[in-house]
Structures are given as C-alpha cells and as structure tokens.
A and B are shown apart, each in its own frame.
Chain A
Amino acid sequence: MNGPPQRVRRERLDGGCDREPIHVPGSIQPFGTLLVIDPADGRVVQAACPPGSSVLAPGDPIGRPLGEALADGAGRELARLLERVPASGAGLLGLVRPGGIPHHVIGHRSDGMTVIELEPSGPDSSGTDRSGADPSGASGHGGFDEVHPHVRDFLDAVQKAASIDRLCALAAREVRRITGLDRVLIYRFDPAWNGEVIAEDRNDRLPSYLGLRFPAADIPAQARALYRLNRLRLIPDADYEAVPIRPAANPRTGRPLDLGLSVLRSVSPIHREYMRNMGTMASMSISLLREGGLWGLISCHNRTPARVPYQVRVACDVIGQVLSLQLAATETAAAAEHRNALRGVHGRLLAAMASAEHFVGGLAARPDDLLALTGASGAAVVTGGRVVRIGAAPAETDILKLVDRLAEGGRDDVFVTDRLADAMPGGEAIKDTASGVLAISISQLHDSYLLWFRPETIHTVTWGGDPRKVPSPDDPTRLSPRTSFEAWRETVRLTSPPWRSVEREAAAELRTAIVDIVLRKAEETAALSERLTSINKELEAFSYSVSHDLRAPFRHIVGYAELLKKFEGERLSERGVRYVDTIVESAVSAGKLVDDLLGFSQMGRAALAPVPVDMNALVAEVRRRLAPDLGERAIAWRIAALPPTRADPMMLRLAMQNLVENALKFTRGREPAVIEIFADQGPEETVYRVRDNGAGFDMAYVEKLFGVFQRLHRVEEFEGTGIGLANVKRIVERHGGRVWAEGSPDGGATFSFVLPDGHDTSGDRRWRS
C-alpha cells in the first residue's frame, strides 16, 4: 500500500495535475470487487475486495484457481464466462451469484492479464435516495432487451429534433429520467478545451450550470485521453475509502495494473476534492466522441452518493453514442447546406471573374457575393500594390501594412485570425473593421492578397468560476482544485466571431479559382496575341497584293481610254468623247480610293515611334507642304503658340495635315477663309484645335464624320474620298488620345484632339471604379 500513492504524490510535486498517472491508481472504488487472472494458468494473481464483502470465498484468493476464488462456488460459473472477455475494450460477460447476490461480471484485458470486475446488479444498499429511478431496471442482467426500453423513447424523439440545442436538451432529460440523478449537463469543448454547458436537466437540489464555461484545466489532458478510451466513468460516492489492489505490482509482469478500461478505477484525490467543492457526492460522465475525438461529455451529478446500475449506465452510453452520431449528422447537414449555398456564391463570383477583363474587376462587381462567401463585412483585393476596398474595410494604408505583415510571415495559402490585435502589432487600431481577418495569397510571385474583414464583436463569457484564479505554476498549492464555482463574467474585446471551417474552405476554393483564372487569362492573352500577329501578317500580305494587283486594272482602263481618245477621238461623237472622259475620271478616282485605303491600313500597322514634338514647327511644315495648292486663295491664318507634345512625328504631321486640308477644302469660297490653330492647356491635358469658318456640318451626323469613306457633302460640292478624318482618328487613337468635332451647317467647324501626356497611360485604372 506504500507504492502507488507515494508515486502519485511525487508526480504531483513534479508536474502537477496534467501528469498525474490516473490510469494506475493502485486501488479501486469500493462498489465492486476486482480480480486479476493470469490467462496462462487461470489463477488469481491480484485482487481488491471491499471490506465486508461476501463475494470472495474465505481465505486469501491470491494464487487460487478462479473457479475456487468466489463464494458459493460461483467461481466455476465465472471461469466459464472468461472466454467472453473481448480482445479489446471492456464487455459484460454475464451474471454470477456469489453469496446469493446477483453480480454483473465485466471483463477486459490489461498488460496480458485478464481483469474481472464484479458489481452488484441490484440497487445499491448505500441508502441513497435517487428519485425517479426505474426500479425495474435495477435487477436485470444488462442485456440489450433491458436497455432498449430506456433508449427507445429517446431514439424516437431524436428523429424529430431539428436543432443541436434540442437534441442536447432531449439527451439531458432522458439521461436524468433513467438515472434519477439530480443534474445532467451536456458539456461541449471548444478548440482550446474550455468546456461550455450547452444543455441541462436538473431538480432544485443542485444549482444550474447552463451556459457556464469551464476552463481547460478542469479536465486535464490525460483525463481527456482516458475519456476517449473508456467512455463511461462512475463515482458513486466521492467520500469513498479506496480499496488497494494486492499485491501492488503484478507478480507476473512486475508492474502495477493499468486500470484505464476499468469500471471500478479509483479516481484522483484532486478530482474527489473538486467534487466536494462542487457539492456533488456522486457523479457519472459519458464521453461524446466524434470521429475518434472527444467533443463533449454528458456529465451527471447527484448531491448525495448514488450508484447507477450497470444496465442503466449502458443505456446512458447508448444515448451518448446516439447523441454523438445525431449531432455529427446534424452538423454535417448544416455544414453541407451552408457549403451548398456558398457554392452558388462561388459560382457567381467565378462567372464574374471569368467575364471580366481582370479578375479583380469581376470580384468588385459582385461585392455582396464576395462578402457572403465568408460571412465578412468588408473585403479588399491587393494586387501589385493596388488596393480595391469592398464594404467595411480598413483604410488603404492599413491594408497595405497588414499585407506587408502577411508577406513577412511567408506566403501561406490561407491566413486566419479572429484576434488581429494578437497577430499583428498595431492591429488594435483597426479593430472596428478588422478584428477578424481571413486572407488568401493569390500569387506565388508578388504580394497579392484577397482579404476579408470582420469587426470587433464585444461579448461576454460566463465562466464557472474566475479562470484567472488558476494558481501560478510556482505556487506549491496549485494542485488544490478551485473552490469557487460562482459564475464570473468576462467581457471579451478585440475579437470577431471565429471564421468557420466552411468559410475557410470557401476562401481556399476561391483562391484556387483565382489562380486558375489568372493563369487561363495569361494563356488566353498569349493565344490572342499570337492570333493577332498572324492576322496582321495576313493583312499585310493582303494589302501588299491589293496595292499591286488592284491598281493595275484601273491604270489599264485609264491608259486604254486615253489611247482610244487619242487615236480614235476624231471618229467619236461629242457624246462618245464625254463618255470616254467619264471612264477615265471614274477609273482615276477608283485608283485614288485604293491608294487612300492602303494608306489608311498602313496607318494602323506602322509602328509608333513617339518622341517630343514641337507643335509650332509641325504646323509650319504642314503649311509649307500645302502652300503650292492654295493658289490665289485669301486665307487668314491665326496660329497661336502651341505647347509641345509627345507623339510619332510622321503620323502626327499627317493628322494635322489632314485637319488643315479639311479646313482649306471646306472654306473654299469664303473671303477670307479663316483658319485658326490653337491649344487649350488644362491641368490634366492639352487640347489642340483647328477651327475654320467654312461649310461646317450638322451635329446630327457627327458620329459619321470620322468613319472610313463617310462623307457629309455631295462629291460635286467638295471632292475627296472621305478617308482624311478617318486617318486623323486612327492616328490619334493609336497614340491613346481622343478626337472630336463641333460644328453647325454653314457655321464652320472645330476639330479637337488630345494626346496623352506621356505618363502612365495604360488602361489599368479601368477596374478601379
């Protein structure tokens, strides 16, 4: 009796509660008898029997064959049951009647030994007053036929319970009904192993713990490990006198007995003190497991000592398992439903991204879906240092700081926190928008992130006692369990509601989609540019061949018509000569059309070589070139000082020449023709204008003005193919500028164009809307 308890004490001094070896206590609780049998020879090697028990045959059981160990020869019956001991876990072997009292026999294997526990199957005689217990369940053998009536009602009701809360309330009520204990709690662990009471059924003999939270230290790690192994624990009387196992070390193995699977296992003195502090003398707890992990407990208490008979415990275990399964199913269904809804959202975002020029534009176009995907109130997309904010997001500078911080920490695919203040210095400053952050990295190459934000949600947690009063590690009294279970309210700040796994998965899926889309867009762009190159080549070959082959027939028409006139003219009537002249004229103008068209197509193909351009010199050059065609015309030139620009000089000269030619043409007949060339310099851009006092045009047709071969005047009034302004538009637009016209019939016209200032002119700002 000296070994194990000392060992416990040493452990307590060394490491505390977490390291107490609770599976080898060296003793049992006194509500049954324990025998350890060596399967090699069927003899008893260790035993623990409460004082006053009449289960064992008189004399020392150690060394006896099992068949002779029990009173009234019940051992022979027991020996026959031994073959039923399961290979793993513990199981009911049957009933024996030593001393005429029926006992449940429960067996398991431990360290190569067979461990037999005998527990009276009748109601205990300890004088407890369990109210409401079903007396008929107290005398059976614990088979399923006895257990089933207890759980049948529960099974029926469970099918109808829609919510997790209802399910748990139902289980608590049912367990209390069949055990008759004072209070039954359904207790759920959070990821940090704090427990919260989510359902309760009780009478007024014990206080309510519903909604209270218990710190993780209340149920230490090795206890939780044991709870996974052995689903049900029972302490009928916290004030019990432990019965030592004799001898302490197994003579065959030399080790103390592992009671991890035992029913009678004696519990830690710390736990018994905890129970007394709680005012509960009897307790039973049933593990709730999900996928092998412990997610909660059914925790039952009685103010006074009480022993729940084996078959009732089995019924409670079944209820616990059904509850676990049902909870898992309900949660899975809820998660599946949520996931399904998110899939719709995901699909819409995907479609928007795929149809947008840039995926960011697609996301920004569906702000509600983007936020709904993770249940966020704000979001931001950061690509190449640009920030697009959606909903309630922090300021751009704060987002960039956050992204820097994320990049420092390596590019994890998904970063998640519901307490940014802990994750990032200065995070507290943006708590109103971003206490919770879910971020996904969307590029392996640069710092591109999609972030979702949740604001701080101030809430209170009610602890079953002040969790801060856990003794410090240096306090020698730290092993005393806490004595106060007074509800203590804590206000939790700087925290957002946690991101659920479905939401994190949705974010990760969106990340995959974005990466795919970005890659696909890049491929599409490459394919498009390849196709453009090939189309351009074809176009070039086409226009080359047109320039050679299409002009020739016109030339021949003109040539032969001229020859006809020259050699046969005398034989032609006056009308015949006029016809020949018309043929010549038409073929010449067709040839000019071909030439103009080719020129226009060249304008689109030629490479731009932008350099600084002196606009005053350019206008002077244009005037010099046009001077020979002006003859005696009276023209009032009003040329203002023009600011320089940046453009391809050849092309810009052609554009300006076309505008001036246009002005000259439409002012024919004006005395004098007034042609003004000037610029309006604004803060952002410079507008160059060419104004005349000529024929003008009707603004209703302004859209046609710049089209290829579009004319607003009859050809007899003003000659030309209608290519000049189309050339101007093409040249200006190839520079990234704009051109437009204003005028009125007979009121002159003003043509204006703007060239970009040579800074950032790429269209990337488009998606910033």
Chain B
Amino acid sequence: MAELKPILLVEDNPKDIELTLAALDQCQLANTVVVTRDGAEALDYLHARGAHAGRNSGDPVVVLLDLKLPKIDGLEVLERIKSDPTLRHTPVVMLTSSREERDLVGSYRLGVNAFVVKPVAFSQFFEAIRDLGMFWAVLNEPPPGGASPVGPP
C-alpha cells in the first residue's frame, strides 16, 4: 500500500479539535490527520498554496468540514471544492452542531458526501467519527474520475 493519504479536519474550536482527534485516535487509523483552523487555510492546503505550499502530505482521503468557520465558512469551502474539477472527487463530510434544516439542504445541494450532526453524547460522537473514518479512510477508495461515492447515513 502506498503512503496513506491524510484526513483533513477543518475545525476552528480547539476543544472540538481535541475531541475529534481523540475519537479518530481510538479508531487506530494509520492516516495522519491534518488540522486547518478556517476555511481559507483549508483551501490553501487543498490547493497546496500559501502556508501549505510545497506540503509533504498528499491530497486528503476525506475532508471533515465544520459548518461554522471563520473567514470562509463551511458551505463556501464545500462549494469551492465541488466546483473545482481537480478537487470535486474528494469526499467531504460536513460536521456540524446545527440541526437546522436549511444547512442540511444547502449542504446536499452543494454535493456533500455525508452530513453529521455532532451528537452531544460523546459515545455517539465517537461512533460517528469512527464509522466515518473507517469508511472514507480505509474502505472507500474514490474511483479515478468516477462518480462520487455514496456516504454512510
């Protein structure tokens, strides 16, 4: 197996970062996790530019994207990824506190691969992260140039 692609986590809240990393850690995935703190930085990483110009790590296997982000918010990052021919096959999972229907509808219209409302109970959160990480990082190799894979519910 070639070098594993990283998981890109886009999250501004340090507590959520720590909790998400702890959850991913328990999945015992071999993938590295790259953390970016806002939408602009995430796009810089994806395009290997700015602070991430000449990055060593490869393109992410999956993007775990928070909805509410400084500078460029999650929906806009999603829109840019899905409208960019070089990035649009990268799976994006929207992670959000919001139960608002309009966020859900907006995300699916923009082509999100999965939408996860962060549960309050940590055990559920852990299960969700684990399932997502396993699915996207291990099981699901995106078909080259093919249609977007279908995500878990």
Chain A interface (Cβ < 8 Å from any Cβ of B)? 544, 547-549, 551-552, 554-556, 558-563, 584, 587-588, 591-592, 595, 598-599, 602
Contacts and interface: CB of A to CB of B under 8 A. Distances in A.
Contact of A547 (B22, B99, B121): B99
Given A552-B13, A556-B15, A544 B120 contact: no
Nearest to B102: A544
B19 interface: yes
28 contacts: A544-B100, A548-B67, A549-B97, A551-B97, A551-B118, A552-B15, A552-B97, A554-B120, A555-B16, A555-B97, A555-B118, A555-B119, A555-B122, A555-B125, A556-B19, A558-B120, A558-B121, A559-B122, A559-B125, A560-B19, A562-B122, A562-B126, A563-B122, A584-B122, A587-B120, A592-B120, A595-B99, A602-B101
A679 B99 CA distance: 35
Contacts of B97: 547-549, 551-552, 555
A584 B126 CA distance: 15
Nearest to B23: A559
Nearest to A544: B100
A562 B101 CA distance: 29
Contacts of B15: 552, 556, 559-560
Contacts of B16: 552, 555-556
A554 B96 CA distance: 14
A588 B121 CA distance: 6
B32 interface: no
A656 B149 CA distance: 37
B98 interface: yes
Contacts of A549: 97
Nearest to A565: B122
Interface string B18-57: 0100100000000000000000000000000000000000
B18 to A, nearest CB: 8
Nearest to B26: A566
- In the complex, which of the residues B15, B68, B100, B120 has the most CB atoms of chain A within 10 Å of its own CB atom? B120
Interface string B99-142: 11100000000000000001111110110000000000000000
The 8 closest A-B pairs by CB, nearest first: A591-B120, A562-B122, A559-B19, A559-B122, A556-B15, A548-B97, A558-B122, A551-B97
Contacts of A602: 101
Contacts of B121: 558, 584, 588, 591
Contacts of B125: 555, 559
A559 B25 CA distance: 14
B123 A548 contact: no
- In the complex, which of the residues A549, A554, A562, A602 has the most CB atoms of chain B within 10 Å of its own CB atom? A562
Nearest to A562: B122
A554 B19 CA distance: 13
A548 B123 CA distance: 20
A144 to B, nearest CB: 96
A563 B119 CA distance: 16
Contact of B120 (A548, A551, A598): A551
A548 B98 contact: yes
A548 B68 contact: yes
A547 B98 contact: yes
Contacts of B96: 548
A712 B19 CA distance: 38
Contacts of B67: 548
- In the complex, which of the residues A587, A588, A591 has the most CB atoms of chain B within 10 Å of its own CB atom? A588
A231 B105 CA distance: 94
Given A552-B16, A556-B19, A559-B19, A544 B122 contact: no
Given A547-B98, A552-B16, A584-B121, 9 more contacts: A548-B96, A552-B15, A552-B97, A555-B97, A560-B19, A563-B22, A584-B122, A587-B120, A598-B99
B100 to A, nearest CB: 6
Nearest to B22: A563
Nearest to A556: B15
Nearest to A585: B121
A650 B70 CA distance: 35
Contacts of A551: 97, 118, 120
B35 to A, nearest CB: 16
A321 B16 CA distance: 102
Contact of B100 (A547, A554, A555, A561): A547
Contacts of B68: 548
A552 B125 CA distance: 12
Contacts of A591: 120-121
- In the complex, which of the residues A548, A560, A561 has the most CB atoms of chain B within 10 Å of its own CB atom? A548
B68 to A, nearest CB: 6
B98 A544 contact: yes
Contacts of B99: 547, 595, 598-599
- In the complex, which of the residues B19, B100, B121 has the most CB atoms of chain A within 10 Å of its own CB atom? B121
A599 B96 CA distance: 17
A614 to B, nearest CB: 25
Contacts of B120: 551, 554-555, 558, 587-588, 591-592
- In the complex, which of the residues A554, A555, A592, A599 has the most CB atoms of chain B within 10 Å of its own CB atom? A555
A544 B96 CA distance: 12
A531 B74 CA distance: 32
Nearest to A567: B22
Nearest to A554: B120
Nearest to A550: B97
A338 to B, nearest CB: 65
A175 B4 CA distance: 130
A579 to B, nearest CB: 16
Nearest to A590: B120
Interface in B73-104: 96-101
Contacts of B122: 555, 558-559, 561-563, 584
Nearest to A594: B120
A559 B122 CA distance: 5
Nearest to A592: B120
Nearest to B101: A602
A592 B120 CA distance: 8
A388 to B, nearest CB: 46
Contacts of A587: 120
A544 B121 CA distance: 21
A602 B100 CA distance: 9
A21 to B, nearest CB: 93
A548 B94 CA distance: 14
A560 B19 CA distance: 7
Nearest to B117: A551
Nearest to B120: A591
B37 to A, nearest CB: 16
Contacts of A598: 99
- In the complex, which of the residues A548, A559, A602 has the most CB atoms of chain B within 10 Å of its own CB atom? A559
B104 to A, nearest CB: 12
A679 B101 CA distance: 33
A581 to B, nearest CB: 12
Contacts of B22: 559, 563
Contacts of B101: 602
A625 B121 CA distance: 23
A598 B118 CA distance: 16
A582 to B, nearest CB: 14
B116 to A, nearest CB: 12
A129 B125 CA distance: 129
- In the complex, which of the residues B68, B97, B123 has the most CB atoms of chain A within 10 Å of its own CB atom? B97
Contacts of A547: 97-100
A588 B100 CA distance: 19
A591 B98 CA distance: 12
A539 to B, nearest CB: 13
A551 B101 CA distance: 16
A554 B119 CA distance: 10
A112 to B, nearest CB: 96
Contacts of B118: 551, 555
B34 to A, nearest CB: 21
A558 B120 CA distance: 7
A556 B101 CA distance: 23
A560 B16 CA distance: 10
A561 B121 CA distance: 10
